[in-house]
Amino acid sequence: EVQLVESGGGLVQPGGSLRLSCAASGFTFSTYNMNWVRQAPGKGLEWVAVISGSGDNTNYADSVKGRFTISRDNSKSTLHLQMNSLRAEDTAVYYCASRYYSSGSSLGAFDIWGQGTMVTVSS
C-alpha cells in the first residue's frame, strides 16, 4: 500500500525552527518528485516546495524561499522540510504529496497525500 506519513509538527515560537519529516512506503521513493503543501487554518491550499527524485533539483514558493529547505534521504524513503525563521503566517497543516498513480507532468496533480502535521507558530 502506498503511504505517506508526516511527523515533526508542533508549537514553536516566532523566529524558531522546526524539521518536518514524511516517511514513504509502498513505492520506489527515489523515482518520484516530492512536494510539501500547506493549509493555514480555515484557508486554502498553498504549495510550498518540491524536490526531484534524485534530490538534485528543488524549487520553493516565494513565501518560504530562503527560510525553508526541502531535502530527502532516498536510503530511508524519507522527505524533510527544515523550517527556519518561522513566522505566525507559517501556521498551517503541512502535507507531503506526490503524483504517483496518474501519468503526465509531475509538477502537479498530486494523487498521494499524507495525513498532514500541524505547525503552530506562536509565542
Q: Give contact residues for another protein (rule: CB under 8 A).
A: 35, 37, 44-47, 50, 59, 61-62, 95, 97, 101-102, 104-105, 107-111, 113-116
Is the Cβ of residue 102 or residue 122 nearer to another protein in the bound state?
102
Check: CB of residue 95 under 8 Å from CB of residue 39.
Answer: yes
Pairing of strands 78-83, 18-25: antiparallel
Check: CB of residue 106 under 8 Å from CB of residue 32.
Answer: yes
Burial of 45 (0-12, 13-18, 19+ CB in 10 A): middle
Shortest approach of another protein to residue 102 CB, angstroms? 5
Beta bridge partners of 118: 93
Is the Cβ of residue 11 or residue 107 nearer to another protein in the bound state?
107
Is the Cβ of residue 16 or residue 21 nearer to another protein in the bound state?
21
Shortest approach of another protein to residue 75 CB, angstroms? 27
Shortest approach of another protein to residue 107 CB, angstroms? 4
Shortest approach of another protein to residue 123 CB, angstroms? 27
Is the Cβ of residue 23 or residue 45 nearer to another protein in the bound state?
45
Q: Residues 8, 101, 33, CA angle at the centre, nearest 5°?
A: 50
